[in-house]
Amino acid sequence: MRIAAAVDTRPALRLTGAVLRQFDYAVARALNLTATDFQTAERQRIEARFTLRRRDFVLRTVKIERAGFARRGKLYVDVGIDPRRDILAK
């Protein structure tokens, strides 16, 4: 007994191509959202652990520079302490 089957894979390949084209953007967006969540959590942690006299000044030390965000071709985020505001290093 012989069974033959034919499957048209073109729609699946088109869908795969569309998903792969958006992959970098989706990963960059997820990384950026995670980084901003981390930034918020770190600011809350600083506020809970220390007595802040200049609250806004201190909380703005945890920052993501404009160039630090993830984008297509740069799939990582730089979250850091602003060196101009780093009062603990002085």
- Record the tokens describing residue 55, joined without a space: 């609250």
Spatial CB neighbours of 63, under 8 Å, sequence gap ≥ 6: 39, 79, 80, 81, 82
Per-residue CA distances from 63 to 20, 60, 66, 81 (Å)? 31, 6, 9, 6
Q: Which DSSP letter does residue 87 get?
A: G
Spatial CB neighbours of 34, under 8 Å, sequence gap ≥ 6: 77
Per-residue pLDDT of the chain (90 residues; tens, 9 = 90+): 888 888 888 888 888 888 888 899 999 999 999 999 999 999 999 889 988 888 888 888 888 988 899 998 899 999 988 877 776 665
User: Does the model's pTM come out above 0.85?
Assistant: no
